[in-house]
Structure 1
Amino acid sequence: MADWNAGQYLRFEDERTRPSVDLLRRVPLPDPQHCVDLGCGPGNSTELLVRRFQSARVSGLDNSPGMLAKARERLPGLTFEAADIATWQPDERFDLIFANAVLQWIPDHPGLLTRLVSFLKNGGCLAVQMPNNLNEPSHRLMEQVANEGPWATKLTSASGSKEKIGSFEDYYACLQQAGCTVDIWQTIYVHPLDGAGAIVEWFKSTGLKPYLDPLSPEEQAEYLGRYEAEITKAYPTQADGKVLLRFPRLFFVAQRL
């Protein structure tokens, strides 16, 4: 895919940071010494780690040059590394591996999670949040518009760009087998946004990217127009003029025994 647009992503910074706050609250570590933020993006989640664990060494990892540039600007005293989580092999272990809204882009979750747990110290935690919204109208309509438009052949692989999220039982069993205790839950956030266009803007920096990147500028404009028309029908306007974006997210904190 083309590089991530950090500015577009940060248009909804408060809403996007809230799950990181909720995930961090459930991390049971009083004084970790070494923390890494996987898929750190523009550094908004990394900043939360720095504020909570003030004596810890905190670093960030991402594969987007644009996101890393924003993170380094935001937190100039930290180390941010360009790397692919799917092949990342650190030479040291961590007290906390924090992965907010990133692992959904990486395949083979059983293998991935087992490998990440192996990078933890004994007693360390793997804290993960993943959007679990592929069955929401916002995402079903991405696929519908892709299949019905003149760009259908260009977008045949777009729907497979995100890993299908497993069940509670899937992740619980996998992490237990990796030698962890597991705290797992799901939260449905409801974001009041300023109309259907705001929903489109929200997903332009994330879920829509696999659909938009293969298209020409003219095709992108037409795709987004059709998508917004469908979103308008799927998300009714409330009395105050807002639309309500439902956003389920799956969380777990796995602590290595």
Structure 2
Amino acid sequence: MTGTTGTTWDPALYLQFDDARSRPFLGLVARIGAAAPRRVVDLGCGPGHLTETLSRRWPDAAVEALDSSPDMVEAARSRGIDATLAPVETWTPGPDVDVVVTNAVLQWVPTHTDLLARWIDALPAGAWFAMQVPGNFGAPSHALARELAARRGLTLRDELAVAEPADYASILGGAKVDVDVWETTYLQRLTGDDPVLTWISATTLRPVRDALDPPDYDDFRAELAPLLREAYPMRADGTTWLPFRRIFAVAHKES
């Protein structure tokens, strides 16, 4: 879930929308065809609640988990997961790694396209690599936050944070690698006051919160809230619909 250092994370806030945030992970893992992997790696494991599903699917595999956030690693360890504190940039697959899953992580790693090529090359024959990243950096939720952050001298990630599906297909695919790439736009049903602001506070706004003093961060949120309400109006039944685009790729090396 978190792949690089420099941003603090709140596991409880992140898990507030657990069901909605878990859907892409579960859909991604469902496309992995490994029957009896020796080692399964969760790159950017977050609080570990999804790592647990990997252990249940492959109970005989050694499950390895790592994350760059101390808070997330602590939360994962509290679930009994032997998580390691480390950025994904430093990770290299060992000879027994048959499945790698990286979920909503690589958008935080500017060099991740270079890492993908290196990882695929290093994985053993027959291995599976599965990734998922958000593809909504051009959405109003992110564009409005970027605009307000820029007024305060802060730079947030833009559309260049991730590549397009065809780019990932080109990077991961090869003569001896079968690759499946797709995208899905979920329509998330949110409720409550300022639900889109609450949603992005757990992820997109983390660098803003880290950079600003608490009163300034509160002012930032107060300025952003009405802009998000206008961009994502609440319906008469109290529902706010948030389009949520995700990009997926699963690569399988020939045995």
1:13 paired residue number: 18
Match of 1:86 among 78, 84, 89: 89
| Correspondence for 1:194 | 191
- Unmatched 5+ stretches in structure 1: none
How far residue 89 of structure 1 moved from its aligned partner, in angstroms, is: 3.1
RMSD after superposition: 1.7
Q: In structure 2, which of residues 180, 185, 194 is the aligned counterpart of residue 183 of structure 1?
A: 180
- CA separation of 1:42 and 1:163: change in aligned 2, threshold 3 A: farther
TM-aligned CA deviation for residue 90 of structure 1: 4.7
**Distance apart, 1:195 and its partner CA:** 4.1
Which residue of 19, 43, 49 maps to 1:44?
49
Question: Which range moved further: 46-55 or 86-95?
Answer: 86-95
Asked if 1 retains the 8 angstrom alpha-carbon contact of 2:137 and 2:157, the reply is no
1:158 aligns with 156
CA contact (8 A) 1:17 1:44 kept: no
- Provide the secondary structure at the position in 2 that maps to 1:213: helix
**Aligned equivalents of 1:128, 1:84: Cα separation in 2:** 16
Q: Which amino acid aligns with 2:195?
A: A
Q: What corresponds to 1:215 in structure 2?
A: 212
Secondary structure of 2:234's counterpart equals: coil
Instruction: Provide closer, same or farther for how the CA distance between residues 91 and 127 of structure 1 changes in structure 2, counting only shifts above 3 A.
Output: closer
Residue 250 of structure 2 is aligned to residue 253 of structure 1: yes
In structure 2, runs of 5+ residues without a counterpart are: 1-5
- 2:232 equivalent in structure 1: 235
Q: Is the 8 A contact 2:191 2:238 kept in 1?
A: yes
Alignment of 1:68-147 (within 5 A): 68-74=73-79, 76=80, 78-147=81-150
Q: What CA distance in whole angstroms lies between the structure 2 residues aligned with 1:211 and 1:177?
A: 39
CA distance in 2, matches of 1:14, 1:167: 26
- 8 Å contact from structure 1 (residues 183, 254) kept in 2: yes
Tell me if the contact between 1:104 and 1:163 (Cα under 8 Å) persists in the aligned partners: no
Per the alignment, in what secondary structure is the counterpart of residue 241 of structure 2?
strand
Q: 1:110 to 1:38 in 2, by over 3 A?
A: same
Number of aligned residue pairs: give it: 249
- Normalised to the residue count of structure 1, the TM-score between the two structures is 0.91
Return the alpha-carbon distance in structure 2 between the equivalents of residues 194 and 96 of structure 1: 36
CA–CA distance in 2 between the matches of 1:205 and 1:96? Answer: 28
In structure 2, the CA distance between the partners of 1:19 and 1:231, relative to structure 1 (3 Å rule), is: same
Tell me the CA shift for residue 163 of structure 1. 5.1
Q: 2:40 aligns with which of 32, 35, 40?
A: 35
TM-score (norm 2): 0.92
- 1:203-240 residue CA offsets vs partner (Å, 9 max, x unmatched): 11211112222111111001001111100000011231
